[in-house]
Amino acid sequence: MSETRTSTGQAFRATLKRDLLIAYKRKNDVVNPFMFFLIVATLFPIGITPEPERLGEIAAGVLWIAALLASLLAMDSLYRADYEDGSLEQLLLSSHPLYFMVLAKNIAHWLVSGLPVVLVSPLIAYMLNLPPESYLILFVTLLLGTPILSLLGSIGVALTVGLGSRGLILAVITLPMSVPILIAGTLTVQQTLNGASLLGYLAIMGAMLLAAISLAPLASAAALRISVN
């Protein structure tokens, strides 16, 4: 039993390391979602209003919508290369639990595409005139929420991995699942402006993250078996 656990742990780490190395070599997969997030967030003041007070009111929603769209843009590359070179089939045939292999790929994907968005969010919040007392909460909510977006998007990608053109279908599948976390994240940041307690909101987001970690890789693994076989 211990040898099996050790072997699975090694496979998990190897999958995580492999995907990070591939992402490092394919820098477009890292840069494109990050630049898309910056472009969407910076265009909102031009399209709506440059007034600081108005921008401060909508900044939380703008940043969360930009993060969601950036996550959706990055999703397409999650299993695409593995499907095209045949390594995804080898992953499905592996003796290790597919749950851990999918989870490793999701973690690597979030580290590459989601974490940079989280790190730069306070700077964009400053640009959008979000009140300073909301910066930390915005950072925490995105730190909790963007992994959920990646995990939920993984399900949609797994279902459509065998399709040639899947952009619209992926959006239709993923966006409805992402709405609750979008609402929860935006409301949590907004509550800092009202002086309300944030423990309940953060607890809800934490529960969403735990549920996504527990269930989303299982759903993605099942979807991959259906799509590839």
Please write the tens of the pLDDT for every residue from 142-194: 999 999 999 998 888 888 877 766 667 777 888 888 888 999 988 888 888 77
Predicted pLDDT at 134: 86
Confidence of residue 213 (pLDDT cuts 50, 70, 90): very high
Contact 150, 68 (CB under 8 A): no
φ and ψ at 195, to 5 degrees? 75, 15
pLDDT in tens, 82-123: 777 777 778 777 778 888 888 998 998 898 888 988 999 888
Q: With the CA atoms of 175, 73, 91 and 11 taken in that order, what torsion angle do they form, in degrees rounded to the nearest 10?
A: -100
Predicted pLDDT at 165: 60
Alpha-carbon gap, residue 47 to 100, rounded angstroms: 43
Predicted pLDDT at 3: 47
> Collapsing DSSP states into helix, strand and coil, what is residue 50?
coil
Which class for 229: exposed (0-12), middle (13-18), buried (19 or more C-beta within 10 A)?
exposed
Alpha-carbon gap, residue 117 to 103, rounded angstroms: 20
Which class for 78: exposed (0-12), middle (13-18), buried (19 or more C-beta within 10 A)?
buried
Query: What are the CA-CA distances from residue 111 to residues 20, 104, 117, 187 (Å)?
Result: 8, 11, 10, 25
Higher-pLDDT residue of 197 and 219 is 219
Higher-pLDDT residue of 150 and 57 is 150
Contact 19, 108 (CB under 8 A): yes
Alpha-carbon gap, residue 196 to 76, rounded angstroms: 38
Residue 133 DSSP code: G
Higher-pLDDT residue of 27 and 103 is 103
Contact 185, 65 (CB under 8 A): no
Predicted pLDDT at 33: 81
Query: What are the CA-CA distances from residue 41 to residues 1, 34, 125 (Å)?
Result: 50, 11, 9
Higher-pLDDT residue of 39 and 6 is 39
